[in-house]
């Protein structure tokens, strides 16, 4: 059976359930909005300071919101022990991983696109001056978070302290993504040429490819009881 067929079945199922419940998107958006407001009042930056620190604050906001969304996203599989039905299916665990990764990635990206203007307003930023670069940075950064987050949300689903376990596992390992994405976003907001961020782009792309492959291979072991 084709891995793509399984992955798209999972993706469609997750999007349909999310459309009905808004569980994941509400969690990400409310938490992201709260973080944006908190940062804005905590730092009160001038426009010049905002351009320097906004990249970091933006990605911290995305990352913390993503943790919440990833936890809730996998909760759908643990309710009624649906994970068991997935394990019973004659599908390669890698294709199940791919489906969950795609649904997490899509939901996180959509939430980030909604949160961007919120950060833009609170920090008085012009975010859409170079939309192509912005979308590329968002895609590469979010892919890295979703790739690891999908695996670790499955790991933490089988633990007693599920809500705590995911951030403990995910945040340290996504430091390279955070550093590269923050650097690139700061370059973008400062209006500097994106060619200066070649190393960071390569780092992000390399991280995404390596960790997606690694998590794809490991997902079967994680699903085993």
Site residues (CB under 8 A) for another protein? Answer: 1, 5-6, 9, 12-13, 16-17, 20-21, 76, 79-82, 84-93, 224-225
Which is closer to another protein, CB of 82 or CB of 129? Answer: 82
**What DSSP string runs through 19-58?**
HHH-HHHHHHHHHHHHHHHHHHHHH---HHHHHHHHHHHH
Smallest gap, in angstroms, from Cβ of residue 66 to another protein? 21
Q: Kindly tell me the sign of the dihedral angle through the C-alpha atoms of 67, 69, 74, 79.
A: positive
Smallest gap, in angstroms, from Cβ of residue 187 to another protein? 41
Smallest gap, in angstroms, from Cβ of residue 100 to another protein? 13
What is the rounded distance in angstroms from the CA atom of residue 146 to the CA atom of residue 22?
A: 19
What is the rounded distance in angstroms from the CA atom of residue 65 to the CA atom of residue 83?
A: 24
The pair of three-digit structure tokens given for residue 142, joined into one six-digit string: 């979010």
Which is closer to another protein, CB of 17 or CB of 171? Answer: 17
Query: Which residues lie below 8 Å from residue 175, measured CB to CB, with a gap of 6+?
Result: none
Q: How far is CA 225 from the centre of its chain?
A: 26
Which is closer to another protein, CB of 48 or CB of 224? Answer: 224
The pair of three-digit structure tokens given for residue 53, joined into one six-digit string: 């620190």
Which is closer to another protein, CB of 28 or CB of 140? Answer: 28
User: Whole-angstrom distance between the N-terminal and C-terminal Cα of the chain?
Assistant: 24
Which is closer to another protein, CB of 92 or CB of 205? Answer: 92
Smallest gap, in angstroms, from Cβ of residue 44 to another protein? 42
Residue bearing tokens 């007693």: 160
What is the rounded distance in angstroms from the CA atom of residue 72 to the CA atom of residue 153?
A: 9
Smallest gap, in angstroms, from Cβ of residue 26 to another protein? 14
Smallest gap, in angstroms, from Cβ of residue 220 to another protein? 9
Which is closer to another protein, CB of 48 or CB of 225? Answer: 225
């Amino acid at each position: 059976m084709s891995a793509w067929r399984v992955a798209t079945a999972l993706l469609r199922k997750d999007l349909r359930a999310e459309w009905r419940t808004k569980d994941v998107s509400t969690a990400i958006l409310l938490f992201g909005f709260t973080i944006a407001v908190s940062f804005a009042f905590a730092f009160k930056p001038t426009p010049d300071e905002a351009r320097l620190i906004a990249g970091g604050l933006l990605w911290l906001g995305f990352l913390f919101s993503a943790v919440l969304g990833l936890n809730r996203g996998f909760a759908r599989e643990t309710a009624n022990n649906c994970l068991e039905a997935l394990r019973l299916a004659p599908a390669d665990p890698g294709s199940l991983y791919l489906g969950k990764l795609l649904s997490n990635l899509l939901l996180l990206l959509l939430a980030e696109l909604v949160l961007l203007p919120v950060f833009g307003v609170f920090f008085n930023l012009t975010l859409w001056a170079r939309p192509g670069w912005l979308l590329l940075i968002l895609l590469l950064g979010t892919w890295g978070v979703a790739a690891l987050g999908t695996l670790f949300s499955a790991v933490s689903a089988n633990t007693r302290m599920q809500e705590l376990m995911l951030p403990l596992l995910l945040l340290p390992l996504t430091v390279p993504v955070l550093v590269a994405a923050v650097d690139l976003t700061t370059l973008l907001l400062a209006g500097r040429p994106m060619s200066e961020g070649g190393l960071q782009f390569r780092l992000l792309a390399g991280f995404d490819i390596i960790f997606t492959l690694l998590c794809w291979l490991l997902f079967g072991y994680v699903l085993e009881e």
